[in-house]
């Protein structure tokens, strides 16, 4: 098993362990591969041609072209005037939706799914800052949600990280007081927050993403780039071995259940069915997803984080 991430104990969440990802966030800019136009200048490329900072191509000079863009080397080599074209750089606000619900407060190896979700949100947040984009989003769990409008640099990421820590510390509510619709209501708020051209990243285990929630994501995807980062755990994937006599506590259908071997098999079958429904639902709506394991350090998964899976 991997060693715990720096400053982490795998169960609680602290600001120190989220600040560690600032160094990792500067290693890559995943948003550069997501071209789309939006209204404000930034560091990501669009397909629009115009005067900008990023060279695109050279073509024959046409009447009305700016003489300052003439490529004199190509002109001298070909004997015909050629001009440089540039791609305009546009800003793409990044909205991170982090699910810290009860079903995320469990894990059979290394860290809780909720802790890994917070680590991933921090990593993407620091990547957003390094890319020069604005960061915002929503953090939610039963009975709580924090909404952050996109803001630049530390004004955006610092409050977001603080909200992750604050909501993760909230005690789990008694079953009778749980808000079973927290995910749907938070996604409705996300739809209002996501302006056209935004990058919308959903971090959750996907267990409560049924048709109504997936339809909301598909609606957002009509004008935004949407991706689900599915947080997985070995127990639900049948990768963890448990003695038949062992009692395993899991969150299932909004309740904390103590499962014996027979109950665990039924729970695993339900997990399998939800995984099939999720995969089918995402595919039908053209939504992308990536998987992130809570049993492996996040810095050892960076090369595959943005690789979509079927």
Long-range own/partner contacts, residues 212-216 (CB < 8 A, 24 or more apart): 212/184, 213/183, 213/184, 213/187, 214/281, 214/282, 214/285, 214/287, 215/285, 216/184, 216/187, 216/188, 216/190, 216/191
Verify that 82 and 136 share a domain, yes or no.
no
Coil, helix or strand for 98?
strand
Verify that 180 and 100 share a domain, yes or no.
yes
Give the pLDDT mean for 94-123: 95
| Distance, CA of 262 to CA of 266 (rounded, Å) | 6
Q: With 80 as the cut, is the pLDDT of residue 47 above it?
A: no
Nearest to 112 by CA among 294, 271, 256: 294
Counted domains in the chain: 2
CA 291 to chain CA centroid, Å, is 10
Give the pLDDT mean for 119-147: 94
- Domain holding 127: CATH number? 3.40.50.410
pTM for this entry = 0.81
DSSP state of 250: E
| Distance, CA of 20 to CA of 122 (rounded, Å) | 9
The CA-atom distances, in angstroms, between 238 and each of 111, 230, 242, 247, 271 are 17, 16, 10, 16, 10
Q: With 80 as the cut, is the pLDDT of residue 48 above it?
A: no
Give the pLDDT mean for 38-60: 54
pLDDT, one tens digit per residue, over 20-43 is 999 998 887 887 766 544 444 445
Verify that 269 and 285 share a domain, yes or no.
yes
pLDDT of residue 246: 84
Nearest to 263 by CA among 289, 292, 242: 242
Verify that 274 and 205 share a domain, yes or no.
yes
* Domain span holding position 77: 44-90
Verify that 280 and 199 share a domain, yes or no.
yes
């Amino acid at each position: 098993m991997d060693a715990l991430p720096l400053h982490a104990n795998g169960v609680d969440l602290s600001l120190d362990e989220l600040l560690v990802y600032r160094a990792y966030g500067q290693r890559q800019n995943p948003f550069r591969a997501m071209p789309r136009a939006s209204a404000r200048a930034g560091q990501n490329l669009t397909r629009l041609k115009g005067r900008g900072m990023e060279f695109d191509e050279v073509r024959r000079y046409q009447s009305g072209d700016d003489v300052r863009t003439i490529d004199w080397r190509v002109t001298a080599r070909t004997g015909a005037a050629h001009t440089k074209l540039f791609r305009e750089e546009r800003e793409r606000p990044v909205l991170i939706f982090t699910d810290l619900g009860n079903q995320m407060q469990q894990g059979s190896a290394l860290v809780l799914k909720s802790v890994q979700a917070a680590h991933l949100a921090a990593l993407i947040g620091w990547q957003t800052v390094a890319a020069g984009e604005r960061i915002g989003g929503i953090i939610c769990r039963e009975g709580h949600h924090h909404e952050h409008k996109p803001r630049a640099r530390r004004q955006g990421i610092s409050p977001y990280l603080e909200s992750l820590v604050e909501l993760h510390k909230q005690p789990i509510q008694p079953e009778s007081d749980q808000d079973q619709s927290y995910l749907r209501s938070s996604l409705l708020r996300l739809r209002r927050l996501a302006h056209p051209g935004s990058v919308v990243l959903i971090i959750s285990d996907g267990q409560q993403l049924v048709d109504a929630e997936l339809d909301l994501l598909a609606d957002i995807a009509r004008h935004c780039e949407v991706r689900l980062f599915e947080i997985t755990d070995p127990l639900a994937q049948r990768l963890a071995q448990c003695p038949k006599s062992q009692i395993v506590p899991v969150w299932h259908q909004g309740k904390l259940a103590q499962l014996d071997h027979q109950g665990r098999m039924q729970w695993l079958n339900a997990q399998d069915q939800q995984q099939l429904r999720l995969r089918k639902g995402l595919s039908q709506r053209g939504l992308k997803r990536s998987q992130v394991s809570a049993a492996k350090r996040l810095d050892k998964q960076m090369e595959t984080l943005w690789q979509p899976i079927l």
